[in-house]
Structure 1
Amino acid sequence: MSEVPGDLRYAPTHEWLRLEDDGTVLVGITDHAQQALGDLVFVETPEVGKEVEAGEACAVVESVKAASDIYAPVAGEIIDTNGGLIEAPERVNDAPYGDGWIMRIQPSDADQIEELLDADGYEAAIADDDEE
């Protein structure tokens, strides 16, 4: 069973978002996503300063099984990336909600955060995935 923390928001494309005290958001991929991908061998983070739209592909994770795009869950500016993933992409597997975060975004419209799934909604979505 995948871990789905209750304090996060989730995109249907399996990214999580944590609203920080400074109004920025940390973004990574969910435990469910990293389990489906398997052992990650490469992470390409977006360029700091890049403006992204909600739903825009802006990063890539590559596992022994496949490569997968990572989508911005909200529109805004990429203000930081997790440079540690270059040398240690397995952090995403080991701690998807901790040291395995991928990027930090300054949202241009904070209301978009509320449009994302809560933990219950995401759990229902992945339960549907598991049934297919």
Structure 2
Amino acid sequence: MIEYQPGDIVRVTHHIIEVLRAVDDPKLGRILVGVARMKDGSRREGSVFLDAPDTVVELVARATPGGWPPRQKDLWRDRTGEVWFAIDRSDPNVTDEPDIAFVPSFDADGYDPGRVLETGAPLILVHREDDAS
């Protein structure tokens, strides 16, 4: 089950909606409150009942958290509490551009930060080294 967060962009039937908040109502089930852009350019706020049998929701774009994109030496935490360390895999002899990867505390493999954002959102920046270091 996807956990939606403010700023996510979703497609519901033929409308694109920016999520303002996600609500778990004990009587009505999961609800997304969001803003849809109408054909005339106006914006309309409304609710989507995710547990309704005819509701089809597709996540179009995940909102990026504060501090995004990750930098080398960052420490991030995902929705399950898992810790992710940001490392730079680039070769300084080849490029000046960083190649940031997330390394989780449970193994040594590096993961694409965008993929971690898709599967582990919301992410929270826990610590960032200041630029002077």
TM-score band, normalised by the shorter chain? under 0.3
Task: Report which of the two has the higher share of helix.
Answer: 1
Which of structures 1 and 2 has the larger relative contact order (alpha carbons within 8 angstroms, sep 6+)?
Answer: 1
Task: Report which of the two has the higher share of strand.
Answer: 2
* TM-score normalised by structure 2 residue count: 0.25
The structure number with the bigger radius of gyration is 2
